[in-house]
């Protein structure tokens, strides 16, 4: 038996509108949530046109011209704008009858391309029981006939399976929100033996280690540690005269374990000669959504864990992309300088309790954010609806003073190491540097 997708009615209207505007075909993404029992689709977003297509609402006449790379890049950008619990769970195509016959194969290629791209960026591994089916939706622009199939993205040889596509009213309003603020202080050493300190590569390695800490953390929901298989809403009362529960669970605390409780091995200290370090500091605002159809605690916690990991990783990627644009692709290593990671913001969309996410640098105007939502999510946003979730720390930019006298530098490093050892008997701080690139995040109040 195939999967069933419960779809917000507004998605059907959106697809219908696209079928009248774009010929001979238009592609896009399906956004929602997978669970073991049900899959939910709350948004459909068309692929943004390329520059040469913006003049008129037309697409190339042959399906062979579908730009797989362009659609995949769009999916990567959209995935950054989704809070925990939501993901790109499929693709769609609206095509004329003569093109519909060949569109399934094109969708299959795009689905696997998107999954490959998103997997490469993730710092977490999917759970064994996780749903790995992704939807391929075909809509005939003439007859409006819908054909939905799924592919298992964990199986490269996966063949199409039939799936049901059912519209449901007010689906986007039936969601529970989990919010938390996570204080981050990650120290990443840059080894002196490395000939070229690649800031992006080293940061990624440090985030990988940190993400494992988040995966092993304990989550307190409303001050309690709950069993994974417990229903998230157990013990909560329904709202009078309504079948829905409260739409907000705000009190979530994250407790990070310093030492693995199951480890019987004695920990050892390692001395590494370092010439610099990267420091990620700040407080990040994290949010996840789960549908209120009897969600389990483990589903909600998993969604929030992934949002914590994704939001920090995404910000770093955005920063590196910005540095490449402004400083050139060849600038891989950095002297002492302070970078500020972009702030997180949330934007509602009509008829939904779910808010979408994005990131902004301090000098970005509201108009730029509005343009990005139109391009990436095909959604108009009012400036007053942009909610900045975090405030920036004040940062002093410290100029670097290079010391060309190696002997003097070695003496300084040795003296600093000795001082630290005296201050912290039995503990080694393994990086002392004349140059520490420090990345600071927004501080949430």
Domain spans of the chain?
A: 4-171, 175-257+278-389
| Domain 4-171 belongs in CATH node 3.40.140.10 | yes
The residue among 405, 403, 414 whose CA lies nearest residue 273 is 414
Tokens describing residue 208: 């990988």
Q: Are the CB atoms for 289 and 83 separated by under 8 Å?
A: yes
Cβ-proximal residues to 52 (8 Å cutoff; 6+ apart), any chain: none
Q: Do the beta carbons of residue 3 and residue 39 sit within 8 Å?
A: yes
**Confidence at residue 390, expressed as pLDDT on a 0 to 100 scale:** 79
What's the CA gap between 33 and 31, in Å, rounded?
7
Residue 22, CA distances (Å) to 97, 166, 289, 340 in order: 14, 24, 33, 41
Give how far Cα 80 sits from Cα of 118, 226, 315, Å.
10, 29, 9
Q: Where are the beta strands (DSSP E) in 237-366?
A: 248-249, 252-255, 274-291, 338-340, 343-348, 355-360
Strand partners, 137: 92, 148
pLDDT value of residue 373: 96
Answer for the pair 196, 332: CB distance below 8 angstroms, yes or no. yes
Alpha-carbon separation of residue 422 from 342, 362, 400, 410 (angstroms): 38, 41, 27, 18
φ/ψ of residue 214, rounded to 5: -65, -40
pLDDT by residue for the chain (445 residues), tens only, comes to 689 999 999 999 999 999 988 888 999 999 999 988 789 999 999 999 887 666 555 555 677 778 999 999 999 999 999 999 999 999 999 998 888 777 888 999 999 999 999 999 899 888 888 899 999 999 999 999 999 999 999 999 999 999 999 999 888 888 999 999 998 888 888 777 765 557 788 888 889 999 999 999 999 988 888 888 888 887 665 544 444 444 556 678 998 876 544 455 566 777 777 777 788 888 899 999 999 888 889 999 999 999 999 999 999 999 888 888 876 655 544 556 677 889 999 999 877 889 999 999 988 999 999 999 999 999 999 999 999 987 653 222 222 334 434 544 444 444 444 444 444 333 333 333 344 555 555 443 3
The pLDDT of residue 381 is 93
Alpha-carbon distance 53 to 57, whole Å? 7
Q: H-helix or E-strand containing 202? A: helix 199-215
* pLDDT for residue 391: 65
406 CB-contact burial (10 Å; exposed 0-12 / middle 13-18 / buried 19+): exposed
CA dihedral 23, 60, 120, 303 (to 10 degrees): -10
pLDDT score for 409: 45
CA distances from 120 to 117, 124, 346 (A): 5, 10, 25
Q: What is the pLDDT of residue 190?
A: 77
pLDDT at 61: 61
């Amino acid at each position: 038996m195939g999967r069933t997708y419960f779809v917000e009615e507004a998605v059907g209207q959106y697809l219908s509108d696209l079928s009248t505007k774009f010929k001979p075909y238009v592609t896009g993404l399906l956004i929602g949530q997978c669970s073991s029992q049900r899959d939910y689709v709350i948004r459909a977003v068309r692929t943004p046109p390329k520059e040469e297509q913006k003049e008129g609402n037309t697409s190339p006449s042959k399906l062979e011209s579908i730009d797989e790379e362009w659609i995949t890049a769009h999916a990567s950008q959209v995935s950054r704008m989704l809070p925990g619990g939501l993901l790109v769970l499929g693709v769609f195509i609206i095509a004329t009858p003569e093109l519909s016959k060949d569109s399934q194969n094109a969708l299959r290629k795009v689905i696997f391309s998107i999954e490959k791209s998103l997997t490469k960026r993730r710092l977490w591994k999917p759970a064994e029981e996780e749903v790995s089916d992704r939807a391929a939706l075909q809509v005939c622009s003439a007859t409006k006939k819908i054909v939905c199939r799924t592919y298992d993205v964990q199986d490269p040889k996966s063949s199409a399976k039939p799936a049901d596509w059912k519209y449901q009213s007010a689906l986007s309003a039936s969601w529970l929100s989990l919010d938390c603020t996570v204080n981050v202080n990650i120290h990443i050493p840059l080894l002196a033996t490395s000939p070229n300190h690649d800031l992006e590569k080293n940061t990624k390695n440090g985030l990988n280690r940190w993400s494992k800490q988040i995966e092993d953390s304990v989550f307190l929901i409303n001050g309690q540690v709950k069993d994974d298989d417990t229903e998230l809403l157990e013990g909560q009362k329904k709202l009078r005269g309504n079948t829905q529960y409260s739409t907000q669970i705000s009190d979530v605390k994250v407790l990070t374990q310093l030492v693995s409780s199951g480890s019987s091995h004695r920990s050892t200290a390692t001395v590494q000669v370092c010439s610099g370090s990267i420091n990620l500091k700040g407080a990040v605002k994290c949010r996840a959504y789960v549908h209120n159809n009897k969600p389990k605690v483990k589903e909600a916690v998993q969604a929030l864990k992934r949002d914590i990991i994704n939001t920090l990783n995404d910000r770093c990627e955005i920063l590196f992309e910005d540095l490449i644009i402004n400083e050139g692709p060849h600038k891989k290593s950095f002297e002492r300088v302070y970078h500020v990671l972009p702030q997180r913001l949330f934007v509602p969309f009509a008829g939904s309790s779910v808010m979408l996410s994005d990131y902004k640098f301090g000098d970005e105007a509201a108009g730029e954010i509005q343009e990005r939502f139109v391009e990436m999510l095909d959604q108009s946003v009012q400036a007053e609806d942009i909610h900045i979730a975090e405030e920036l720390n004040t940062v002093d930019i410290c100029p670097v003073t290079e010391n060309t006298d190696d002997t003097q530098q070695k003496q300084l490093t040795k003296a600093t190491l000795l001082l630290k050892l005296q201050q912290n008997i039995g503990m080694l701080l393994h990086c002392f540097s004349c140059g520490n690139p420090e990345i600071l995040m927004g501080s949430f109040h």
